[in-house]
Amino acid sequence: MALRSTIYRAELSVADMERAHYATQVLTLARHPSETEERLMVRLLAYALYADPRLAFGAGLSTEDEPDLWLKDDTGAIKLWIDVGLPDERRVRRACGRAARVIVLAYGGRKATMWWSQNAAELARSPNLEVLAISETESASLGLLAARAMQLTCTVQDGHVWFGSATQVVPIEPQRLNAVR
């Protein structure tokens, strides 16, 4: 018998001073059986960083043709494709061909550094790709915030992010490895 996804619910309040985006969303997230709570929370961080009423969670791990998050316009064209983790370089290049803008939010410490050094030359050719990395400490701290029912806040200002619950706040400083040209 196949394992089922675990459902998490989050009330997420975002105050993004850089984009002048202020909203509270009630979200339902499905954690794939092979996904860690740390990865789930990095997906939620990605949602907060690019929050938009049309931003939606994709099938991610269970479907190769969908990202972790995406934003489509009224015609169905993909405006934003977001992958979390260390995706295969070919997957990222395919995404760059399908979407107007592609974001990779890498995490995993030394593994993320090795992934970027192995793929940087090829991925730097994509003008619509942006790669951000968060440290191993930051992603691990995010994982500790995970609960089946969460009330979270995210504040973004001057390249700094504060993501937290009523009892704990995780300061995050995403490192821009590659920016959209």
**CATH number, domain at 81?**
3.10.640.10
78 domain-assigned: yes
Residue 4, pLDDT score? 85
Proportion of the chain above pLDDT 90, given as a percent:
88
Over residues 4-30, the pLDDT tens digits come to 889 999 999 999 999 999 999 999 999
Domain residues for the domain of 68 are 6-178
**pLDDT surpasses 80 at 1:** no
- Residue 129 is assigned to a structural domain of this protein: yes
61 has pLDDT over 80:
no
Average pLDDT over residues 168-180: 91
More confident residue, 178 or 17: 17
**98 belongs to a structural domain:** yes
Task: Check whether 64 has a pLDDT greater than 60.
Answer: yes
* pLDDT for residue 62: 62
R_g (Cα) of the chain, nearest Å: 16
In a domain, 165, yes or no: yes
What is the model's pLDDT at position 5? 87
Angle at which helices 110-123 and 89-98 cross, to 10°: 50
Q: Taking residues 115-125, what's their average pLDDT?
A: 94
> If you average pLDDT over residues 29-38, what whole number do you get?
93
pLDDT, tens digit, 9 for 90 and up, residues 130-158: 999 999 999 999 999 999 999 999 999 99
* Average pLDDT of span 54-72: 85
- Please tell me the predicted confidence (pLDDT) of residue 3: 77
In a domain, 1, yes or no: no
pTM: 0.94
Residues paired with residue 70 on neighbouring β-strands, in sequence order: 56, 81
Domain count of the fold of the chain = 1
Mean pLDDT, residues 72-81: 97
**Nearest CA-CA partner of 170 in 139, 133, 131, 136:** 139
